Amino acid sequence: MESQGCFSREEINSTVWEVPEKYTRLKQIGTGAYGSVCSAINEKTKEKVAIKKLHRPFQSEIFAKRAYRELRLLKHMKHENVVGLLEVFTAATSLDDMQDFYLVMPYLFTDLSKVRGHLSEDKVQFLVYQMLCGLRYIHKAGIIHRDLKPGNLAVNQDCELKILDFGLARSTDAEMTGYVVTRWYRAPEVILNWMHYTQTDMDQLTQIMKVTGVPGSEFIQKLDSPEAKTYIKALPRYPRKDFSTLFPRCSAMGIDLLEKMLVLDGDERPTAELALEHPYFDSLKDPDDFPEPKAYDDSHDNATLSLEEWKRLCFKEVKSFVPFPRRDSKRKNTLTMSP
């Protein structure tokens, strides 16, 4: 970590923030159970950033482990379409003094849940391409996001997208559970194999199958849950809807990709990497968008350590941070996003 020089202290909504003097004009833009976020200006680069202060990260082993995990995941992410760290700092000069640390990330204008109005197909194409590039990277690192939804897809005015919020992420070999995923964005196989069968989940599955069609016996045999098998067998035989009727503004190539990505059987659905090979993205593809990540080391994910040991690990990660050199986009996109 670079030498920070002097720090300035100020109180924002009853919370003391202690940040390097180069960060000015702090303004709270979000708060949650685990921390709060301020926008700020980096006076050295004139860049607007988002700074996250974790809420008392060393109050317990659980909080410290969560803080360590978030820091490790964010440090690992080095892709233009995945949120990563610009900097991480603490005003503490020694391990014993450290009570807080701060995560500095790019400031993003809005997220897809707040975008209103009609999106032209070239915008949709560019956004989906970036989502898939980010997902490909995450999956190749051995991580599953588990809460991908419009609110976790940040965009700026140039239509550049980053995948956010790895709070629920797990390494791919960990046990999968359905409850973590925001309900309306759960994949059908998550509902079918891991959910308790509530009326809301059943209604959602029915709505999905009214579009995808009710699957046949081959799909039903793959299901682990007897309740899921019984449920699907009892459904009316909804036929698969014609996607070109559902999405009349979408090009034939876009419809073809959408149909492949919304196949009900997860075994038949393309991975992010395969989806990116679809000709729909031919005009956007750039080899620089497909870096090969290092595998994420999840050896501490199931560890039981003392508070002091978690704190020591956090301190080590903060002090060893090296910024990811960002590249200028060669694709100067003329699209604009306005919420």
pLDDT of residue 286: 95
**Is 147 a known active-site residue?**
yes
pTM of the model: 0.87
Rounded distance between C-alpha atoms, residue 177 and residue 217, angstroms: 25
Among 268, 261, 271, residue whose Cα is nearest residue 211: 261
CB 123 within 8 A of CB 250: no
pLDDT of residue 118: 86
Q: Which of 100, 111, 147, 201 is catalytic?
A: 147
pLDDT of residue 336: 57
Rounded distance between C-alpha atoms, residue 65 and residue 268, angstroms: 37
Domains annotated for the chain, with CATH where assigned, are 7-108+293-320 (3.30.200.20), 110-289 (1.10.510.10)
Rounded distance between C-alpha atoms, residue 40 and residue 22, angstroms: 10
pLDDT of residue 71: 93
Q: Is 53 annotated as a binding residue?
A: yes
C-alpha pair distances (Å), 56 with each of 99, 133, 335: 7, 34, 41
Give the other-Cβ count within 10 Å of 278's Cβ: 17
Rounded distance between C-alpha atoms, residue 151 and residue 136, angstroms: 19
Strand order, beta sheet including 110-111: 110-111, 153-155, 161-163
Rounded distance between C-alpha atoms, residue 327 and residue 288, angstroms: 10
pLDDT of residue 3: 40
pLDDT of residue 173: 47
- 316: tokens are 């080590």
pLDDT of residue 4: 46
CB 116 within 8 A of CB 141: no
Give the other-Cβ count within 10 Å of 322's Cβ: 9
Rounded distance between C-alpha atoms, residue 183 and residue 191, angstroms: 9
- 319: tokens are 């002090």
pLDDT in tens for each of the 339 residues of the chain?
A: 344 469 999 999 889 999 999 999 999 998 877 789 999 999 999 999 999 998 899 999 999 998 999 999 999 999 999 999 999 999 999 999 999 999 999 998 899 999 888 889 999 999 999 999 999 999 999 988 878 899 899 999 899 999 998 765 565 544 444 445 677 787 887 778 765 666 778 888 889 999 999 998 899 888 888 888 888 899 899 999 999 999 999 999 999 999 999 998 888 999 999 999 999 999 999 999 999 999 998 888 888 999 999 999 999 999 999 887 776 655 555 555 554
